[in-house]
Amino acid sequence: MIDSKKRFSLYYWPTPNGRKISIMLAELDIEYELIPVNIGNDEQLTPSFIKKNLNHKIPVLYDQKIDAYLMESAYILLYLSDEFKALAPEHRAARIEMMQWLFFQAAHIGPMLGQNHHFNFYNKGKAPYAEERYINETNRLYSVLEKRLEGRAFILDSYSIVDIAMWPWIARYPRQSIDLSKYKNVKSWYETVANREAVQRGYNIFGPSELIP
């Protein structure tokens, strides 16, 4: 156990971006204060939360050591990984590769799958063009991951923050109209990561939920 009790406070709701950080903190075995921000009730729009993140989105991580509120989940993963020298490669070439896949997650997997959820799950039937567009784009992105995972167990050479960034989004595949059996490498990676004790602990921080549908 890292001796950093309550150094961190996590402003959280159990969404894919929130779960990236609860999984990372579980992997690091760090105790922290969990502060629910119910985005279903617009709690992210209160003036006190907007002071913590001008973009009014969860997750936000407060670190007492630097007295700062951190936004953007992919950056928070990188920050924690640098701070605790964990779950990321050290060598320059491997780090260059890591940064590209982390940006790929932040720029494509999160935003596009998020739009898929919006049109295809929460507002199904309202915008057929948008549903088709984001289901197609989601399939295209799963194909990219499928190629990347050919012959490898993890997205980098070993389990890392890139898997943590990607996994909670893939965990929502039933909402995305994705047939996971079509992506055998993604499925096998998905199940390997799902079986990690820390992933289950971090994912279910709010109580048992849909882990492997």
Ligand X SMILES: N[C@@H](CCC(=O)N[C@@H](CS)C(=O)NCC(=O)O)C(=O)O
* Residues near ligand X, by CB under 6 A: 15-17, 39, 44, 56-59, 72-74, 110
- Nearest to ligand X of 73, 160 (CB atom): 73
- Nearest to ligand X of 44, 81 (CB atom): 44
- Nearest to ligand X of 59, 202 (CB atom): 59
- Nearest to ligand X of 75, 158 (CB atom): 75
Quote the CA–CA distance of 90 and 126 in Å, as a whole number: 47
Quote the CA–CA distance of 200 and 208 in Å, as a whole number: 9
Identify any residues that bridge with 63 across adjacent strands, giving them in sequence order. 8, 68
Which structure tokens are listed for 7?
A: 């150094």
Which structure tokens are listed for 132?
A: 């088709």
Helix (H) or strand (E) holding 63: strand 60-63
Smallest gap from Cβ 3 to ligand X, in A, equals 28
Smallest gap from Cβ 6 to ligand X, in A, equals 22
Smallest gap from Cβ 87 to ligand X, in A, equals 17
Identify any residues that bridge with 68 across adjacent strands, giving them in sequence order. 63
Smallest gap from Cβ 45 to ligand X, in A, equals 7
Whether the Cβ atoms of residue 7 and residue 64 lie closer than 8 Å to each other? yes
